[in-house]
Amino acid sequence: MSTLLRIDSSIRGAASVTRAIGDTLQSSWQAANPDGTVVRRDLAAEPLPASAWTNAVIASQTPESDRTPTQRAALALAAAVADEVLAADLVVVGAPLYNYGVSAHLKSWIDLMVVDPRFAPGSAPLTGRPVALVVARGGGYGPGAPREGWDHTTPYLQRIFAEVLGADLTLVDTELTLADISPAMAELRPLAAQRLAEAHQRADEVGRELARTTVAA
C-alpha cells in the first residue's frame, strides 16, 4: 500500500486554486490507486508554532541534559514533520505565491523539517522520491510580463526539494488566478481560464502517472 502526503498552505480555504488543483491530482492518484492512503497536513488551518523552529535549532545545539521541555517539544515536532515526509511514497505540496515569495506557513514547515538530523546538509533524504509541486500565481510572471522574474516561490522550492533534498520533482503550475476578481485584469480572464484548465489536466495526468510509479515501487 502506498501513501500520499498532501501539504496545503493556502489561506483561501475553499477558494484556493492550489487546493483545487491538488484535489484533482489526489483524485486521479486515488482512482488509479484505490488502496492507497492519503495523509494531510493543512498548514493554514493548523499552523506550526512560530517559535518551533527557533526552539528546535537551539535545542539541536544544546546537550540533551540541558534542554528545556519547550526545546524537547520542538525537536519532537520537527521529528514528527520529518517522519510524515519520509513515510510517504509521494508528497504533494500546494504553494501559492504570496508577496512574490513562499507562504510563511510553508516556509515554517520546511525550516522545521530540515532541523531533523535525517535532513542534514548533504544527506538528500528524498533521493528518487516523487514530489509534486502545485504553484498558483495571481498575476503574470512569464517571459515578457511586467513582473517577469518576480516569482521567488517556484525557483526556491525547486532548489530545496530537487537539489537539496534530492526529490524527483514535478511542477504543476498556473497563473493569472486573480483575473476573475480584479477589474484591471478583466481582459485576461479567457487566458486565465485556459491556463487553469490546462493545470487541472496536467494534475490529472501527473496523478495517474505517479500512481503507477508509487504502486510499482
Domain boundaries, the chain: 3-46+85-101+124-216
What's the pLDDT score for residue 1? 78
Backbone dihedral region for residue 102 (phi beyond 0: left; psi -120 to 50: alpha; all else: beta): beta
What's the pLDDT score for residue 217? 55
What's the pLDDT score for residue 74? 98
CA 119 from chain centre, in angstroms, equals 17
As a whole number of angstroms, the distance between CA 189 and CA 177 comes to 9
- Using a 10 angstrom Cβ sphere, with 0-12 exposed, 13-18 middle and 19 or more buried, the burial of residue 150 is middle
- What are the residue ranges in the chain where pLDDT is below 70? 215-217
Task: Quote the cell numbers at residue 181.
Answer: 476578481
Per residue in 185-213, is it b (16+ CB within 10 Å) or e — as a string?
Answer: beebeeebeebbeebbebbbebbebbbee
Average pLDDT, the chain: 96
**pTM, to two decimals:** 0.95
What's the pLDDT score for residue 130? 98
As a whole number of angstroms, the distance between CA 22 and CA 27 comes to 8
What is the CB-side half-sphere exposure of residue 206 using CA atoms within 13 A?
A: 26
As a whole number of angstroms, the distance between CA 57 and CA 41 comes to 22
Domain spanning 3-46+85-101+124-216: CATH 3.40.50.970: no
